[in-house]
Amino acid sequence: MIYRFLSRVLEREVDTALLDQAARLTDLGILERRVLDEDPECLAVDYCRLFVLPGRGLAPYQSVQSPENQLCGEPTSAMSQHLARLGLAPAKGFIADHAAVQLAVIAHLLESATQAEADDPALGTGPDVDYAVSEFFNAFLHWLPEYFERVATHAETAFYRAIAELGSAFLRREARVAADGE
């Protein structure tokens, strides 16, 4: 649920569906209700300022956030190859190493494992799925906790600041789990 939510946050500007997802997180005590009180126009401006406009170094691409700092660099190639092995491809308009794509892929992996377990309880998720998730996290998501910290620092709205703080904390915890899964 959190992976899908974070993916959607980075995918495009706020809409009613995203605000509904955020409201569910507030109901669960994961986000504070005050983050839903922001003006939608201010949220749209903050989204563009954070993730679209150049100049802040917050482009949500692993290749841009890597030491080589080159859009469509090595991380893009590696992610494209990984997507092909999984039989997946980024949606039109997205580059393979966009954080929204990467977060959607790990959500897909986890949801597929959960569905397989529901379809056949004797199957379970097993160590292969755990290993695949850990490997994916370590290869493609390791950069995101620090990235979300930087987003939180630059966000002008409580909405994006709170979500970035959630993303950083959640992904740091997931990084520890992934490290233990190796």
Please determine, for residue 132, whether its predicted confidence score (pLDDT) is greater than 80.
no
Q: Mean pLDDT lowest for which of 7-16, 60-69, 119-128, 134-143?
A: 119-128
Whole-structure pTM value: 0.87
- Range list of H helices, the chain: 2-11, 16-27, 40-47, 62-65, 74-86, 99-119, 126-136, 144-154, 158-181
Domain ranges of the chain: 2-58+103-181
Q: What was the pLDDT predicted at 139?
A: 82
Highest mean pLDDT among 83-87, 164-168, 175-179: 164-168
Residue 130's pLDDT band (cuts 50, 70, 90):
low
